[in-house]
Amino acid sequence: MQVDKNWTPTIVAFCCNWCSYAGADLSGNNRLSYPANVKIIRIPCSCRLNPMFILRAFQRGADGVILCGCHPGDCHYTTGNYYARRRMTLLFSMLDYLGIEKERTRVEWVSAAEGAKFAATMNEFVEAVTALGENKRLEDFRCKQ
Amino acid sequence: MQRIGVFVCWCGSNIAATVDVEAVADALSKEPGVVFATNYQYMCSKSGQDMIREKIKELGLTGVVICSCSPRMHEATFRKTCESAGLNPYMVEIANIREQVSWVHKDKAVGTEKAIILGRAAIAKVQLNTPLIAGQTPVTKRALVIGGGIAGIQTALDIADAGFPVDIVEKNPTIGGKMAQLDKTFPTLDCAACILTPKMVDAGQNENIRILSYSEIEDVKGYIGNFDVKIRRKARYVDEEKCTGCGTCMEKCPMKKVPNEFNMGLDNRTAIYIPFAQAVPKVATIDANYCLKLNTGKCGICSKVCLADAVDYEQKDEILEEKYGAIVVATGFNPISLEKFDEFAYSQSPDVVSSLEFERLMNAAGPTGGTLLRPSDKTHPHTIVFVQCVGSRCDASAEKGKEYCSKICCMYTAKHAMLTREKYPDTEVYVFYIDVRTPGKGFDEFYRRAVEQYNVHYIKGMVGKVVPEGGKLKVQASDLLDNRQIHIDADMVVLAAAIEPDKSARPLATKLTASMDTNDFFTEAHPKLRPVESPTAGIFLSGTCQGPKDIPETVAQAGAAASKVISLLVKDNLVGNPCVAKPDELMCNGCSSCEKVCPYGAITYEDKPFRGPNRTTLIRRVAVVNPAVCQGCGACTVACPSGAMDLLGFSNRQIMAEVDAICK
């Protein structure tokens, strides 16, 4: 597949308020850079992430979606990330079935102390999605202006 | 349509150096609904905040977007600013263009573009924001303390001192806990009873404290400020009001062969008993497992000899229902069972004792009246071997023992060794240790005194085996420093058993919806910054239920827990977090999916009337969220199959709008 050299993917990162959003802040504090295509949406807990949001992102032209939450056992709401983990497992296998490459979605546990991990994860993820090229499978072209 | 004002902050040069703030403000001013956009050096400064207030009033803004640092930094600041200008604080959204843009993207063009997109997402979200008002719930000005050891007593005394009524629920017939069983306390060697019993009496006499001894927690419902607790008052077959604690019944009771748990089973007590002389409340209790009258129907002597007519064989368990604003857990610890440590011959020889048993053998009120005698033949031991870390600091893969350090064993072993040498200078005392840990005020000096002044033989190494043989205990051990095997013929072996949380802690944690770690210690809300609060609001932790602690630390934590309780109880109302789940009753079909995932039990169901076809009324079961209990995680919103549940402040539509804005 031919990839436009100037093309960069659109990445939506859902970060839980307590760990991962703080981890993203920390990578900012430490000036650890990651690609600007990553746009973060703050949610209270990883369990707030409705699979619909991910489908919506792909429909609107996102090329990759990543969910970051507290490490298992560390959830601010005790069990939220366990629900998120199960739901995403189901959703990702369905997306795989639909032909969305597995590399376009990811769940990563990032604590408030792991600024470096956040930046490294984003760098890796953007690289992986860039290698895949544009997401056309679920994109709804009626949404394009 | 909202009237939105956009305020782009420079943060000095923190943002302005790598983001073209003017271009951001300019681009965002063209977004739908934006009536005003500007940039300023420091939005969080007084003049910046004044500008926001001024513009809200001047332009009648209904929503505000601030492009600045992380919301974790200044969201609260800007919410307050807007509130003071008459705008609902939840109509403010922050676009994080410092931590997420200017600090991580060096290229100005790239940064500016991303800042604009994040600004757009915030604007798209604020379009859908609704004013939220934090609910207020009244606070029941009473506290419950579960556990009547030194932790519970101290917490109760401190809360009662501030003028709030406190109930102590203790499962045993008396308060006092483990400290009441101790002989002396390290490192000052003052007698435990001398410092504990006055506190027990204080607690018993304090008019704000009610002691519910011989009682257990049956059920806990409710939430911070408003707990409904059911307490089971176990039948003690003695009327607490009438019993004077004279002890005549104990003298006359024919059932004298009940293992005395207060003396660790080293002697016997009667079936009707007062655990120890200084018990509070000093009221007799009949042990239903052993009482002849209750088991065979024949006897009844205690009832006949009781001058106060307090014995009542017909007494039944009673359930008390009480309301509390705060609950303190102070369930304490127990030494682990030593049955699995057969290499030390604990179950083979009565002369191998645990440290708590040794404590009773040394205690003037103990089974031997304070004379140190071997339990087997009541002779004086001449060689005593202390083994440290029995069950502490074990390998995670080992099937017995605990991974953690029990913290108090090094010090109490030094104390035992020292006291033994002081009372019986002809006794040889050996202590086998892995490490001697003495981090505490006066602790290391204390340990060194044991070694230098009292000539206790400290040997680095573990005991491999203890074999009872010919009235002696053959101890095989290794000396790691000299790298040699040691054989000692001991008269007594004392095992410093690891401590573990009381068995009642886990079922209690389930009732309280409080979280625990893998060792069954209660977890604190934050290991450093909120050490005495449970993550579950309104539940506080005191003493060893949270982790191994010595007495000074326990008392300090008890005081800290009390101060947290007091600062909760002085409030008349609690202001909640308004970002809570909210079901759409018309869409809800009462399936219970949301209730199952809620970690707080905030969701209940109600039958509500709805308008049906042809002017009929339909009764339907719908979910109801208690906003005082809901913490706003949003688990239920995803679990709901009909999409009826939504989260205020992070609604489905708001997050979708952000997704759309980012992916455009």
Q: Give the domains, in start order, of chain B with CATH numbers.
A: 4-127 (3.40.50), 143-176+202-329+503-569 (3.50.50.60), 333-500 (3.50.50.60), 581-648 (3.30.70.3270)
Q: Which residues of B touch A119 (CB under 8 A)?
A: 104
- Rounded distance, CA B67 to CA B52, Å? 13
- Rounded distance, CA B575 to CA A128, Å? 46
pLDDT in tens, B532-565: 998 788 999 999 999 999 999 999 999 999 999 9
Contacts of B367 (CB under 8 A, 6+ apart): B260, B263, B266, B267, B360, B361
- Report pLDDT for A4: 67
Instruction: Using CA coordinates, name the residue in chain A closest to B121.
Output: A41
Q: Which residues of B touch A10 (CB under 8 A)?
A: 662-663
Q: Which residues of A touch B523 (CB under 8 A)?
A: none
Structure tokens at B328: 């303190």
Residue A44 to residue B633, Cβ atoms within 8 A: yes
pLDDT in tens, B208-260: 999 999 999 999 988 889 999 999 999 999 999 999 999 999 999 999 999 99
- Rounded distance, CA A113 to CA A128, Å? 24
- Report pLDDT for A91: 96
Dmax over Cα atoms in chain B, in whole Å?
A: 99
pLDDT in tens, B466-512: 999 999 999 999 999 999 999 999 999 999 999 999 999 999 998 88
Distance (Å) from the alpha carbon of A2 to chain B's nearest alpha carbon: 22
Cα B349 from chain centroid? Answer: 38
Find out whether B105 and B114 touch, Cβ atoms under 8 Å: yes
Count of structural domains, chain A? 1
Percent pLDDT > 90 in chain A is 76
- The answer to the question of residue A46 being in a domain is yes
- Rounded distance, CA B124 to CA B437, Å? 59
Output the CA–CA distances (angstroms, integers) from residue B546 to B504, B517, B535, B555, B556, in the order listed: 14, 9, 12, 13, 13
Give yes or no for residue B594 having a pLDDT over 90.
Answer: yes
Give the helix/strand (H/E) hosting B48: helix B46-59
Contact map slice: B 597-616 vs A, CB within 8 A: 597, 599
Output the CA–CA distances (angstroms, integers) from residue A101 to A65, B74, B114, B603, in the order listed: 11, 39, 26, 38
Distance (Å) from the alpha carbon of A137 to chain B's nearest alpha carbon: 15
Average pLDDT, chain B: 94
Distance (Å) from the alpha carbon of A32 to chain B's nearest alpha carbon: 6
- Interface probe for A, chosen from B655, B660, B664 (most Cβ of A below 10 Å), is B655
The position carrying tokens 């040997």 is: B459
Give yes or no for residue B19 having a pLDDT over 90.
Answer: yes
- Interface probe for A, chosen from B14, B15, B74, B99 (most Cβ of A below 10 Å), is B99
Residue B655 to residue A29, Cβ atoms within 8 A: no
- Report pLDDT for A66: 97
- Report pLDDT for B600: 84
Could you give the strand order of the β-sheet that contains B166-169, starting from the edge strand earlier in sequence? B209-212, B166-169, B143-146, B326-329, B539-541
- The answer to the question of residue A26 being in a domain is yes
Q: Which residues of B touch A51 (CB under 8 A)?
A: 638
The position carrying tokens 């140190």 is: B372
Main-chain phi, psi angles of B197, to 5 degrees: -60, -35
Output the CA–CA distances (angstroms, integers) from residue B176 to B181, B197, B198, B305, B597, in the order listed: 8, 8, 11, 28, 40
* Nearest Cα residue to B79 out of B59, B93, B68: B93
Task: Give the pairing of strands A105-109 and A64-69.
Answer: parallel
Q: Rounded to 5 degrees, what angle do the CA atoms B429, B432, B435 make? A: 130
**B383 burial via Cβ count (<10 Å: 0-12, 13-18, 19+):** middle
Per-residue b or e along B88-104, where b marks 16 or more CB atoms closer than 10 Å to that residue's CB: bbbbbbbbbbbbbbbbb
The position carrying tokens 């203890």 is: B466
Across the range B31-37, mean pLDDT stands at 95
Which among B104, B535, B650 is the nearest to A43, CB-wise?
A: B650
The per-type count for chain A, helices as H runs and strands as E runs, is: 4, 4
- Report pLDDT for B396: 79
pLDDT band, residue A74 (cuts 50/70/90): confident
Report the complex ipTM: 0.96
pLDDT band, residue A113 (cuts 50/70/90): confident
CB atoms inside a 10 Å sphere around CB B453: 11
- Report pLDDT for B523: 87
Structure tokens at B312: 């009542």
Distance (Å) from the alpha carbon of A124 to chain B's nearest alpha carbon: 16
- Report pLDDT for B530: 86
- Report pLDDT for A3: 56
- The answer to the question of residue A3 being in a domain is no
pLDDT band, residue B514 (cuts 50/70/90): confident
Give yes or no for residue A144 having a pLDDT over 80.
Answer: no
Residue A47 to residue B638, Cβ atoms within 8 A: yes
SS3 labels along B286-344: ECCCCCHHHHHCCCCHHHHHCCCCCECCCCCCEEEEEEECEEEECCCEEECCCCCCHHH
Cα B630 from chain centroid? Answer: 20
* Nearest Cα residue to B210 out of B283, B141, B277, B156: B156
Partners of B384 in beta bridges: B429, B492
SS3 label, residue B190: strand
SS3 label, residue A16: strand
Domain of residue A87, residue span: 11-137
Residue B656 to residue A53, Cβ atoms within 8 A: yes
Instruction: Using CA coordinates, name the residue in chain B closest to A19.
Output: B72
- The answer to the question of residue A85 being in a domain is yes
Which among A24, A57, A77 is the nearest to B663, CB-wise?
A: A57
Across the range B565-570, mean pLDDT stands at 97
Q: Which residues of B touch A36 (CB under 8 A)?
A: 101, 104-105, 107, 110-111, 113-114
Distance (Å) from the alpha carbon of A22 to chain B's nearest alpha carbon: 8
Give the helix/strand (H/E) hosting B82: helix B71-84
Instruction: Using CA coordinates, name the residue in chain A closest to B514.
Output: A78
Which among A53, A62, A119 is the nearest to B655, CB-wise?
A: A53
Distance (Å) from the alpha carbon of A115 to chain B's nearest alpha carbon: 11
Chain A to chain B Cβ contacts (< 8 Å)? 127
* Nearest Cα residue to B497 out of B331, B330, B346: B346
CATH assignment at residue A93: 3.40.50
- The answer to the question of residue A6 being in a domain is no
- Report pLDDT for B161: 96
Is B577 an interface residue toward A (CB < 8 Å)? Answer: no
